[in-house]
Amino acid sequence: MSQVYVLLISAQGSAQVGSLGPMEFWGTYAYVGSAWGRAGQRRIERHVKVAAGRPGRAFWHVDYLLRLGRLEAVVAAGTEERLECSVASKIAQVAAEAVPRFGCSDCRCRSHLFRLEKDSVDRVCGVMAELGLRPEVIVLSEGSGRKLSGPDYQLPRSLVYRSTRLD
Protein backbone atom coordinates (compact mmCIF):
# COMPACT_ATOMS: atom_id res chain seq x y z
CA MET A 1 0.00 0.00 0.00
CA SER A 2 1.10 3.54 -0.68
CA GLN A 3 0.63 6.70 1.35
CA VAL A 4 -0.36 10.29 1.00
CA TYR A 5 0.84 12.49 3.85
CA VAL A 6 0.77 16.05 5.10
CA LEU A 7 3.59 17.55 7.15
CA LEU A 8 2.46 20.37 9.43
CA ILE A 9 5.35 22.78 9.88
CA SER A 10 5.54 26.03 11.82
CA ALA A 11 8.11 28.48 10.50
CA GLN A 12 9.17 32.09 10.81
CA GLY A 13 11.90 33.56 8.68
CA SER A 14 13.37 33.34 5.24
CA ALA A 15 15.12 30.57 3.35
CA GLN A 16 16.69 30.04 -0.04
CA VAL A 17 14.51 27.30 -1.53
CA GLY A 18 16.50 25.69 -4.33
CA SER A 19 15.50 26.93 -7.78
CA LEU A 20 12.51 28.82 -6.31
CA GLY A 21 14.90 31.33 -4.73
CA PRO A 22 14.48 33.27 -1.48
CA MET A 23 11.14 32.83 0.28
CA GLU A 24 9.52 34.18 3.46
CA PHE A 25 7.60 31.90 5.81
CA TRP A 26 5.41 33.07 8.69
CA GLY A 27 2.91 30.71 10.27
CA THR A 28 1.80 27.09 10.06
CA TYR A 29 2.19 25.31 6.74
CA ALA A 30 0.78 22.09 5.35
CA TYR A 31 3.04 20.28 2.86
CA VAL A 32 1.38 17.51 0.83
CA GLY A 33 3.48 14.55 -0.33
CA SER A 34 3.20 10.89 -1.21
CA ALA A 35 5.29 7.76 -1.17
CA TRP A 36 4.62 4.63 -3.16
CA GLY A 37 5.27 1.07 -2.13
CA ARG A 38 7.54 0.18 0.76
CA ALA A 39 9.19 3.60 0.71
CA GLY A 40 6.25 5.28 2.47
CA GLN A 41 7.46 4.98 6.04
CA ARG A 42 11.08 5.68 5.08
CA ARG A 43 10.10 8.89 3.23
CA ILE A 44 8.32 10.25 6.30
CA GLU A 45 11.20 9.17 8.57
CA ARG A 46 13.58 11.05 6.27
CA HIS A 47 11.47 14.23 6.60
CA VAL A 48 11.57 13.89 10.39
CA LYS A 49 15.35 13.45 10.34
CA VAL A 50 15.80 16.54 8.17
CA ALA A 51 13.60 18.52 10.58
CA ALA A 52 15.77 17.29 13.46
CA GLY A 53 18.87 18.71 11.79
CA ARG A 54 20.17 15.77 9.76
CA PRO A 55 23.15 17.01 7.75
CA GLY A 56 23.25 16.57 4.01
CA ARG A 57 22.05 18.05 0.77
CA ALA A 58 18.50 19.33 0.48
CA PHE A 59 16.70 17.15 -2.06
CA TRP A 60 13.07 18.39 -2.04
CA HIS A 61 11.68 21.91 -1.63
CA VAL A 62 10.27 20.90 1.75
CA ASP A 63 13.79 20.13 3.03
CA TYR A 64 14.54 23.86 3.11
CA LEU A 65 11.38 24.60 5.09
CA LEU A 66 11.98 21.71 7.49
CA ARG A 67 15.44 23.10 8.26
CA LEU A 68 14.00 26.56 8.95
CA GLY A 69 10.89 25.57 10.88
CA ARG A 70 9.57 23.01 13.33
CA LEU A 71 7.74 19.86 12.31
CA GLU A 72 4.61 19.81 14.46
CA ALA A 73 2.70 16.78 13.18
CA VAL A 74 2.40 14.24 10.40
CA VAL A 75 -1.00 13.27 9.01
CA ALA A 76 -0.89 10.20 6.76
CA ALA A 77 -3.27 7.78 5.09
CA GLY A 78 -2.80 4.58 3.17
CA THR A 79 -4.22 4.52 -0.35
CA GLU A 80 -4.16 2.50 -3.54
CA GLU A 81 -4.88 5.62 -5.59
CA ARG A 82 -2.68 8.57 -6.46
CA LEU A 83 -4.39 11.20 -4.32
CA GLU A 84 -1.54 13.62 -3.54
CA CYS A 85 -2.82 16.26 -5.98
CA SER A 86 -6.44 15.77 -4.84
CA VAL A 87 -5.41 16.36 -1.22
CA ALA A 88 -3.42 19.44 -2.26
CA SER A 89 -6.39 20.80 -4.20
CA LYS A 90 -8.75 20.32 -1.23
CA ILE A 91 -6.30 21.88 1.25
CA ALA A 92 -5.97 24.87 -1.10
CA GLN A 93 -9.70 25.49 -0.60
CA VAL A 94 -9.34 25.86 3.19
CA ALA A 95 -5.90 27.49 3.28
CA ALA A 96 -5.09 31.14 3.88
CA GLU A 97 -2.65 31.03 0.96
CA ALA A 98 -0.74 28.73 -1.36
CA VAL A 99 3.01 29.07 -1.86
CA PRO A 100 3.31 29.09 -5.67
CA ARG A 101 5.26 26.25 -7.35
CA PHE A 102 6.39 24.78 -3.99
CA GLY A 103 6.67 20.99 -3.98
CA CYS A 104 4.87 20.41 -7.26
CA SER A 105 7.58 20.25 -9.91
CA ASP A 106 6.39 16.77 -10.92
CA CYS A 107 2.72 17.66 -11.48
CA ARG A 108 0.47 20.45 -12.77
CA CYS A 109 -0.71 21.70 -9.36
CA ARG A 110 -0.24 25.32 -8.40
CA SER A 111 1.34 24.27 -5.09
CA HIS A 112 1.75 21.51 -2.55
CA LEU A 113 2.49 23.93 0.33
CA PHE A 114 -0.23 25.96 2.03
CA ARG A 115 -0.36 28.35 4.97
CA LEU A 116 -3.18 27.49 7.37
CA GLU A 117 -4.72 29.99 9.77
CA LYS A 118 -5.89 27.68 12.57
CA ASP A 119 -7.01 24.15 13.47
CA SER A 120 -4.46 22.74 11.04
CA VAL A 121 -4.69 19.09 12.16
CA ASP A 122 -8.50 19.16 12.09
CA ARG A 123 -8.59 20.82 8.67
CA VAL A 124 -6.16 18.34 7.14
CA CYS A 125 -7.97 15.34 8.65
CA GLY A 126 -11.27 16.72 7.35
CA VAL A 127 -9.89 17.08 3.84
CA MET A 128 -8.55 13.53 3.86
CA ALA A 129 -11.84 12.15 5.21
CA GLU A 130 -13.75 13.97 2.44
CA LEU A 131 -11.64 12.02 -0.05
CA GLY A 132 -12.51 8.73 1.65
CA LEU A 133 -9.16 8.37 3.42
CA ARG A 134 -8.64 7.33 7.03
CA PRO A 135 -6.02 9.79 8.32
CA GLU A 136 -3.62 8.84 11.08
CA VAL A 137 -2.02 11.64 13.07
CA ILE A 138 1.32 11.65 14.83
CA VAL A 139 1.90 14.64 17.06
CA LEU A 140 5.59 15.22 17.56
CA SER A 141 6.85 16.43 20.92
CA GLU A 142 9.88 16.30 23.20
CA GLY A 143 10.80 12.70 23.77
CA SER A 144 7.92 10.79 22.23
CA GLY A 145 5.62 10.47 19.26
CA ARG A 146 1.97 10.33 20.23
CA LYS A 147 -0.10 8.48 17.68
CA LEU A 148 -3.68 9.71 17.71
CA SER A 149 -5.22 7.09 15.44
CA GLY A 150 -4.59 4.10 13.21
CA PRO A 151 -2.80 0.80 13.84
CA ASP A 152 -0.02 0.97 11.24
CA TYR A 153 1.73 4.25 11.89
CA GLN A 154 4.42 4.80 14.48
CA LEU A 155 7.72 6.65 14.20
CA PRO A 156 10.65 5.13 16.04
CA ARG A 157 11.47 7.04 19.25
CA SER A 158 14.88 7.96 17.83
CA LEU A 159 13.22 10.01 15.08
CA VAL A 160 10.85 12.06 17.20
CA TYR A 161 11.50 15.77 16.94
CA ARG A 162 10.91 18.50 19.50
CA SER A 163 7.67 20.40 19.18
CA THR A 164 4.74 21.76 21.09
CA ARG A 165 2.09 19.11 21.63
CA LEU A 166 -1.03 19.86 19.58
CA ASP A 167 -4.21 19.03 21.49
**Domain layout of the chain by residue ranges:** 2-159
> For 108-127, how does the pLDDT look when each residue is reduced to its tens digit (9 = 90+)?
999 999 999 888 899 999 99
> For 77-96, how does the pLDDT look when each residue is reduced to its tens digit (9 = 90+)?
999 999 999 999 999 999 99
Confidence band, pLDDT 50/70/90 cuts, at residue 141:
low
Residue in 84, 73, 86 with CA at minimum distance from that of residue 153: 73
The per-residue pLDDT for 93 is: 95
> For 52-79, how does the pLDDT look when each residue is reduced to its tens digit (9 = 90+)?
888 777 888 899 899 999 999 999 999 9
* pLDDT at residue 143 is higher than 70: no
